[in-house]
Amino acid sequence: MTAAAPPRPPLKIRRINLDTGRENVVVISRRSTALRPEVFRGFSRVELRNQSKALLATLLLTDDGMVAPDELGLAEPAFRRFGAAAGSLVTVTPAPPPESLDAVRAKIQGRSLSGADIAAIVGDIAHYRYSDMEIAAFLIGSASFMTSGELLALARAMADAGTQLKWDRPVVVDKHCIGGIPGNRTSMIVVPIVAAHGLTIPKTSSRAITSPAGTADTMEVLARVDLGVEQMKEVVNVCHGCLVWGGHVNLSPADDILISVERPLGIDTREQMVASIMSKKLAAGSTHLLIDLPVGPAAKVTSAMEAMRLRKLFEFVGDHFGIAVEVVTTDGRQPIGDGIGPVLEAQDVMAVLSNDPAAPRDLREKSLRLAAHLLEYDGELRGGSGYPRARELLDSGAALKQMHKIIEAQGPSGCVADVGGLTADIPAPRDGVVETIDCLRLNRLARTAGAPIDKGAGIKIAKKIGERVAQGEPLYRIHAVDQAQFELAQAAAQADSGYTVGTQATGKN
């Protein structure tokens, strides 16, 4: 009554064309010569080893010819991350969960974590050792409370886990908006103004995750944004500023992973937001930072009290790490600019920089105001002259010239820059005045229409809060590229446009 089995030979790596998003996935045959698939039930975690290389991955089993019995299939992005050539030998063992998961469990049970605990968790996440489920556990476990010590440790650990930029200059300025407002592409106007003045502003931005466009998506309509660290430094040396995608430079990669789990789940705590933003700024080598905090009923921050709490949290973390932080609250009741979606937003930006009389005035004014704050970080500038200086740089065409210089230095992106040709106008339901615009709703509609994947999809706003409209007059226009998404967006906008139009006799316009 005994049974035994011999030890197992390693498997040969085969690259397989299966795109599994962010998760590491390996495929083995059910008839594998090298391990017993029954030990590795579907979707369990395994560890690959090949000399000094190791990788945790999720396992899929197959019966068909995708992989031979003596092979191990590596899907993207696992193949790239493991970094061994096709055909190399690799051993596979069932992977225990990362040890740092004990700290996650402790956190779920209400304990606070040490800096070492947090560094271990963040390191494992940055090295793709956590499954999505485990990442969700860390995020939600931390959502109910986070001590100030945990917050500092999280920001530090996330900054340490990726590239750290160094600039041999005493003043490196940066701006950041906490997001949530459609349009609002101020960075693409602020950076050329500030850079035209001569201050260093190496701006890294994110791509959209649940929104219809991130600054990186919109800038990509005009120029390449996936620059490496050295290329980015070159652009900044030549132009004083840049507008690149932070993900490619690998600033705070753990933060990107956390965000990609927390956004779809809709978890967004104050502490996690501050740790996320400050980790990026620490890694980017910023010395002076301006935070744009839009406040409005459908913005991320809905009250002055909440804005104050958030401001203090930013200041606390900034002080701790020696970054001069200034927080300004801005109008977050409605979109900034007229376009929502990469191409439409890029058009707004270029209209403002070109002093086009039809350019959205709110985008121009907000950008000037933010640029003014940043220009005041120049010790040579007379106090209070930030705003006139910003206006001078914009009106004279210096900012536009600087933007063209940046676009040229970053190079062409090759993206299609056409506006989506499927269009539908969404009409006002009655005569009256626009009373509210639901930012969340417009974001969702623009996304349904195809943004940011379809660069030309989105919304072009015709009326803003306080403007008078006649019944049937367009509130905004939907643009789409794909027929199915066009129909979905149109139906959704007809069901709920996101606008309320009041019937009072006179508008505020």
Q: Which residues, 35 to 74, sit near its own copies by CB under 8 A?
A: 35-36, 38-39, 41-44, 60-64, 66
Residue that is written with structure tokens 């004279």 in the block: 396
Closer by beta carbon to its own copies, 447 or else 463: 447
Long-range contacts of 85-89 (CB under 8 A, 24+ apart): 85/13, 86/13, 86/14, 86/15, 87/12, 87/13, 87/14, 88/12, 88/13, 88/50, 89/10, 89/11, 89/12, 89/13, 89/50
Residue 439 near residue 181 (C-beta atoms within 8 A): yes
Stretch that binds its own copies, among 162-170, 249-257, 264-272, 370-378 (CB under 8 A): 264-272
Where in 140-169 is the site for its own copies (CB under 8 A)?
Answer: 140-141, 143-144
**Beta strands 89-94 and 458-461, pairing class:** unpaired
Q: In whole angstroms, how close is the CB of 131 to its own copies at the nearest point?
A: 8
Closer by beta carbon to its own copies, 8 or else 233: 8
Q: In whole angstroms, how close is the CB of 461 to its own copies at the nearest point?
A: 19
Could you tell me which residues are beta bridge partners of residue 58? 25, 45
d(CA 440, CA 443): 5
Residue 389 φ then ψ, to 5°: -65, -40
Q: In whole angstroms, how close is the CB of 396 to its own copies at the nearest point?
A: 29
Where in 92-131 is the site for its own copies (CB under 8 A)?
Answer: 93, 97, 101, 105, 108, 110, 131
List 11, 16, 188, 291, residue binding its own copies (CB under 8 A): 16
Q: In whole angstroms, how close is the CB of 245 to its own copies at the nearest point?
A: 16
Q: Does 265 bind its own copies (CB under 8 A)?
A: yes
List 9, 21, 83, 412, residue binding its own copies (CB under 8 A): 21
Closer by beta carbon to its own copies, 17 or else 52: 17
Where in 353-412 is the site for its own copies (CB under 8 A)?
Answer: none
The catalytically annotated residue of 160, 268, 431, 482 is: 268
List 89, 171, 267, 381, residue binding its own copies (CB under 8 A): 267
Closer by beta carbon to its own copies, 224 or else 444: 444
| Number of residues that this document lists for the chain | 509
Q: How many residues bind its own copies (CB under 8 A)?
A: 75
Residue 402, token pair as written in the block:
């600087």
Q: In whole angstroms, how close is the CB of 50 to its own copies at the nearest point?
A: 17
Q: In whole angstroms, how close is the CB of 271 to its own copies at the nearest point?
A: 14
- Chain-centre distance of CA 372, in angstroms? 25
What are the start-end ranges of the E strands in 207-352? 241-245, 288-295, 324-331, 339-340
Q: In whole angstroms, how close is the CB of 315 to its own copies at the nearest point?
A: 25
Closer by beta carbon to its own copies, 73 or else 192: 73
Closer by beta carbon to its own copies, 69 or else 198: 69
Tell me how far CA of residue 422 lies from CA of 211, 442, 482, in angstroms: 21, 17, 8
Could you tell me which residues are beta bridge partners of residue 461? 476
List 450, 468, 478, 499, residue binding its own copies (CB under 8 A): 450
Residue 88 near residue 161 (C-beta atoms within 8 A): no
- DSSP letters, 98-126, are PTTHHHHHHHHTT----HHHHHHHHHHHH
d(CA 207, CA 341): 12
* Burial class of 370 by CB neighbour count within 10 A (0 to 12, 13 to 18, 19+): buried
Residue 239, token pair as written in the block:
């132009």
Where in 469-488 is the site for its own copies (CB under 8 A)?
Answer: 480-485, 487-488
Q: Does 18 bind its own copies (CB under 8 A)?
A: yes
Closer by beta carbon to its own copies, 19 or else 168: 19
Stretch that binds its own copies, among 220-228, 320-328, 403-411, 446-454 (CB under 8 A): 446-454
Residue 285 near residue 236 (C-beta atoms within 8 A): no
Closer by beta carbon to its own copies, 268 or else 365: 268
Stretch that binds its own copies, among 227-235, 258-266, 279-287, 390-398 (CB under 8 A): 258-266
List 417, 429, 473, 507, residue binding its own copies (CB under 8 A): 417
Closer by beta carbon to its own copies, 8 or else 391: 8
Stretch that binds its own copies, among 162-170, 250-258, 311-319, 453-461 (CB under 8 A): 453-461
Active site residue 268: yes
Q: Does 305 bind its own copies (CB under 8 A)?
A: no
Contacts of 144 (CB under 8 A, 6+ apart): none
Q: In whole angstroms, how close is the CB of 357 to its own copies at the nearest point?
A: 21
d(CA 62, CA 356): 59
DSSP 131: -
Q: In whole angstroms, how close is the CB of 208 to its own copies at the nearest point?
A: 11
Q: Tell me if residue 247 falls in helix, strand or coil.
A: helix
Which residues are marked as active site?
268
